[in-house]
Amino acid sequence: MIDVQQVTKRYGHHTAIDRVTFSVAKGEVLAFLGPNGAGKTTTMRILTCFMPATEGTAQVAGFDCAEQPLEVKRRIGYLPETPPVYQELTVSEYLRFVGRLRGLIGGALTASMAREVERLGLGPVQHRLIGNLSRGYRQRVGLAQALLHDPPVLILDEPTVGLDPKQIIEIRELIKSLAGSHSVILSTHILPEATAVCQRVVIISGGRIVAEDTPDRLSARLRHSEKVSLTLARAPRDAAARLQQIAGVQQVHTGGPPGNFLLECQLGRDVREEVGRVAVTNDWGLVELKSISMTLEDVFLQLTRHEEGIAQGTQLAAEPVAAASSATTDSTS
């Protein structure tokens, strides 16, 4: 549905994005994740025909953004970084205006407006001036205008910026509900957002794509080993050596709190059951047993921190796993 091939954008001598290539399938929700200045907005502006690429091609629904911009724009709903709203219009005046620009008239226009007012919870504010609305409501009006003509493709530049936590959850639910029937690209620098709503994540840094995969696989690909944390109340002197003998355990680190062991294990191998059994059988006083996984946040920081070293390719850098202190824990015993 969206196909971006080797797109470069230069502003004078400054290269904002460099040979960016990715695609989005029909019904897929893709997160465009990157720090400030990474090139997210630039890529979206090219896709929405707001400006042309310096090099490369971008296509939406089979139409070229540079050559057939009208066909592309018909199929796109775009929420720019700053919602394109008119302060001096009321919400319904504005939506009526946008709908007419989109070619909607009569009953179709009324029905589309009612659908989006309902979907975005704009009922209580529909007769108020947009200039008097809170930022969150203005953002919702921006989303309503993007959805009004029910486009198959949605390009949302930081859609949850300025919203309160409850609204963030609602908007994420809304985006998730669009999956399947719509192709969505949303940009964000908020990691949980990418994991919460997207099937695939493209990480962009310094204008280059540094990784592309599902949130789960991204974390897995950067991991070199699984880590398990074990805490024993009555650890014998030779506990580390005996833990080391368990199949799948590669290394045992001590030196943390008393009785705590950090086990580095073979990738893809879950040693917790066996470790638990050994600890219980030997009456070592099993207090805690949990796996430590790398979050998408660790992956993101690692990729964007080492941006220079991996700038040459689009493959993931094989850097050592982040320190256990920056990792988070999941399942516990």
Ligand X SMILES: Nc1ncnc2c1ncn2[C@@H]1O[C@H](COP(=O)(O)OP(=O)(O)OP(=O)(O)O)[C@@H](O)[C@H]1O
Q: Where do contacts with Mg ion occur on this chain (CB under 5 A)?
A: 40-41
| Pair of tokens at residue 167 | 């609204």
Q: Is 281 among the residues that bind ligand X (CB under 6 A)?
A: no
Q: Is 37 among the residues that bind ligand X (CB under 6 A)?
A: yes
Q: Is 156 among the residues that bind ligand X (CB under 6 A)?
A: no
Closer Cβ to Mg ion, 186 or 289, answer by number: 186
Whole-Å CA distances, 249 to 73, 161, 220, 226, 272: 55, 44, 18, 9, 10
From candidates 6, 11, 216, 313, binder to ligand X by CB under 6 A: 11
| Pair of tokens at residue 49 | 């025909």
Q: Cα 205–143–135 angle (5° rounding)?
A: 85
- Distance in Å, CB of 203 to ligand X, minimum: 11
Give dist(CA 108, CA 111) in Å, integer: 5
Closer Cβ to Mg ion, 139 or 291, answer by number: 139
Q: 207: phi > 0 → left, psi -120 to 50 → alpha, else beta; which? A: left
Q: Is 189 among the residues that bind ligand X (CB under 6 A)?
A: yes
Count of residues in contact with ligand X, rule CB under 6 A: 13
Closer Cβ to ligand X, 38 or 154, answer by number: 38
The order of strands in the sheet holding 14-24 is 14-24, 2-11, 55-60, 63-64
Q: Cα 25–8–219 angle (5° rounding)?
A: 50
- Strands in 130-182 per DSSP E: 153-157
Q: Is 159 among the residues that bind ligand X (CB under 6 A)?
A: no
Q: Could you tell which of ligand X, Mg ion, none binds residue 37, using a CB distance below 5 to 8 A set by kind?
A: ligand X
Q: Is 13 among the residues that bind ligand X (CB under 6 A)?
A: no
Q: Is 52 among the residues that bind ligand X (CB under 6 A)?
A: no
Give dist(CA 135, CA 140) in Å, integer: 9
**3 state DSSP class of 29:** strand
Stretch 74-113: interaction string toward ligand X, x if CB under 6 A: -------x--------------------------------
Q: Could you tell which of Mg ion, ligand X, none binds residue 14, using a CB distance below 5 to 8 A set by kind?
A: ligand X
Q: Which residues of 211-230 are buried (b: 16+ CB within 10 A; e: fewer)?
A: bbbebeebbbebbebbbbbb
Q: Could you tell which of Mg ion, ligand X, none binds residue 97, using a CB distance below 5 to 8 A set by kind?
A: none
From candidates 36, 245, 312, 325, binder to ligand X by CB under 6 A: 36
Binding segment for ligand X among 11-19, 53-61, 117-125, 309-317 (CB under 6 A)? 11-19
Q: Which residues contact 281 (CB under 8 A, 6 or more apart)?
A: none
- Beta strand 2-11 with 55-60 is antiparallel
Residue recorded with tokens 């014998």: 236
- Distance in Å, CB of 206 to ligand X, minimum: 9
Closer Cβ to ligand X, 21 or 329, answer by number: 21
Binding segment for ligand X among 39-47, 104-112, 122-130, 239-247 (CB under 6 A)? 39-47
Q: Is 42 among the residues that bind ligand X (CB under 6 A)?
A: yes
Angle between helical axes of 91-101 and 106-119 (0-180°, round to 10)? 130
Sites of contact with ligand X (CB under 6 A): 11, 14, 16, 34, 36-42, 81, 189
